[in-house]
Amino acid sequence: QLSQFWYSQDTALRLATEAVAAAGERGRIACVSAPSVYQKLRSLHREDISVYIFEYDKRFAIYGEEYIFYDYNNPLDLPEKIATHSFDIVIADPPYLSKECLRKTSETIKYLTQGKILLCTG
C-alpha cells in the first residue's frame, strides 16, 4: 500500500553519477525517499563513498546500517548517529506532490546537507 515509484535504470544511473561527482572523494550521499538511486549507487561498488537511504519502507532495512527509517511527517526524527550537515549531497524525491510534504522534506534536507541538493519530483 506504499506509494513507491521507481526510476528507469538510465535515470537512476544518471542521478547516481551526478551524486558521486558532487560528493567527491570519500563523499557521503543521503538518498531521501529515492530508493532506486540508492540501489544504483550500491551497484556501482564505490568504496570511496558512503551512501545512506532514508526511507519509510522498512523492506530497505536489509541494507543494515545504511538504512535509516524516515517519515516525512517527522522530518527531524533521525538517529543520533546522523549528525547535522554530515552529507556532501542529498538526493531527495518527496513521496507526495504537496506543499506540506515538500516543506517537511526540505527540513530534513537542510539538516542533512552541507549545501548540495539534488531534488527530483514530478
Domain containing 37 equals 9-119
DSSP letter at 13 equals: H
**2 inside domain:** no
pLDDT digits (tens, 9 = 90+) for 12-68: 899 999 999 999 989 999 999 999 999 999 998 788 899 999 999 999 999 999 999
How far apart are alpha carbons 4 and 103 in whole angstroms?
19
- Sort strands 50-55 and 67-69 into parallel, antiparallel or unpaired: parallel
- What domain count does the chain have? 1
pLDDT digits (tens, 9 = 90+) for 66-101: 999 999 999 999 999 999 999 999 999 998 888 999
CATH code, 89:
3.40.50.150
Entry pTM: 0.93
**4 inside domain:** no
**70 inside domain:** yes
**50 inside domain:** yes
* Cβ atoms within 10 Å of 92's Cβ, excluding its own: 25
The closest of 40, 35, 82 to 55, measured between CA atoms, is: 35
